[in-house]
Structure 1
Amino acid sequence: MSPDSAAAESPSTENPSAERHSTVQVPFDPAKPPTTIDVLKNLKVEEFKPDNLSRLPCLKKSMLYGLAAGSSMGLVRFAVKRSPRSAGDWAMATFAVVAVSSWEFCRFQRRLVQKQMDALVNTNEAEGPSAAKSMPQ
């Protein structure tokens, strides 16, 4: 066994966190989108660890927006009504509405940017390599 093949077969020793941050590959057929049952069958406990959740796009920002809005609404409601239960209910409802709506809006923006990037890539591929040579550097 040569040293090159041993390095290719063993995990990288330079980046020990590479194994820890591996993603789960799920087969995807564009002709047949996965059903909810297919998705639920492929869920693993490791996917819900805090380390993995923090890498989800838009999650951190939307949770912070929800937390800030919910806390503010809870404090205002408590100052006005002096009822901790009412303040808590309003705080939780506000947190949920703001967190979900800001997460959906962020995901919507990411999809728009992805579509624009795909269109640019397709345009560049259609023009071919001669267009890249004629572009100023």
Structure 2
Amino acid sequence: MREDKAGLQSVVAQQEEAYEQRKKSWLPDVRNTPCARSALIHGILGGLTLGLLYFAKSSIVRRSCDLAVGGFAVMALTSWEVCRWSKAKKRAEVKRTVAVLNTLTSRTTTDDTSQADTIRSKTL
């Protein structure tokens, strides 16, 4: 009886491990992907709006659905790219600011204050 229970537990553990591996390998983790949530929301709203507006105008279901899917794709990709570009721009700005501050602090401690004032005036 104990051997059956131990064997069953090992089979269940192997299946859970296999499930976790499958889940990690082919499903993207949208919660931890930067800009994914906002891109999906913008895409869904854009596609829905475009499809509904075209349907209200023409009453053609197939063409409205085609436009909704196309609108989703365009809006999601555009939103994704804009968000990623914005994050990259902010990251570069932070790096630049850190470099300037490091330069100012190293120059202030080693050089006289007139050089630090010159650097400050150039960065501002």
TM over 0.5, shorter chain: yes
**Secondary structure of 2:73's aligned partner:** helix
Which residue number in structure 2 is paired with residue 68 of structure 1?
45
Bigger radius of gyration among the two: 2
What CA distance in whole angstroms lies between the structure 1 residues aligned with 2:46 and 2:37? 14
From 128, 132, 136, give the equivalent of 2:105: 128
1:113 equivalent to 2:90? Answer yes
Distance change (3 Å), C-alpha of 1:100 and 1:71: same
Q: Which residue identity does 1:114 align to in structure 2?
A: R
Superposed displacement of residue 49, structure 1: 3.1
Quick one: distance in 1 between partners of 2:108 and 2:34? 34
CA distance in 1, matches of 2:90, 2:26: 27
* Cα displacement (A) at 1:58: 0.9
CA, structure 1 residues 54+47, in 2 after alignment: closer, same or farther (shift >3 Å)?
A: farther
- Taking only the aligned residue pairs, the percentage that are identical comes to 25
> Mind listing any 5+ residue stretches in structure 1 that lack a counterpart?
1-43, 133-137
Task: Give the secondary structure class of the aligned counterpart of 2:32.
Answer: coil
How far is 1:45 from its partner? Answer: 5.8
Task: Give the structure-2-normalised TM-score.
Answer: 0.62
SS of the aligned residue for 1:54 comes to helix
Return the alpha-carbon distance in structure 2 between the equivalents of residues 77 and 66 of structure 1.
Answer: 16
Structure 2, gaps ≥5 residues long: 1-21, 110-124
Q: 1:74 to 1:102 in 2, by over 3 A?
A: same
SS at match of 1:57: coil
RMSD: 2.3
1:54 aligns with 2:21: no
Higher helix share: 2
Paired amino acid for 2:74: V
Q: Does 1:104 align with 2:74?
A: no
Shift of 1:127: 2.4
TM-score when scaled to structure 1?
0.57
| Native 8 Å contact 1:47 1:53 kept in 2 | no
Residues 49-87 of structure 1 deviation map (CA, whole Å, 9 limit, x = unaligned): 35x222111110111011001001111111122121101
Aligned match of 2:63: 86
Q: Distance in 2 between matches of 1:127 and 1:47?
A: 46
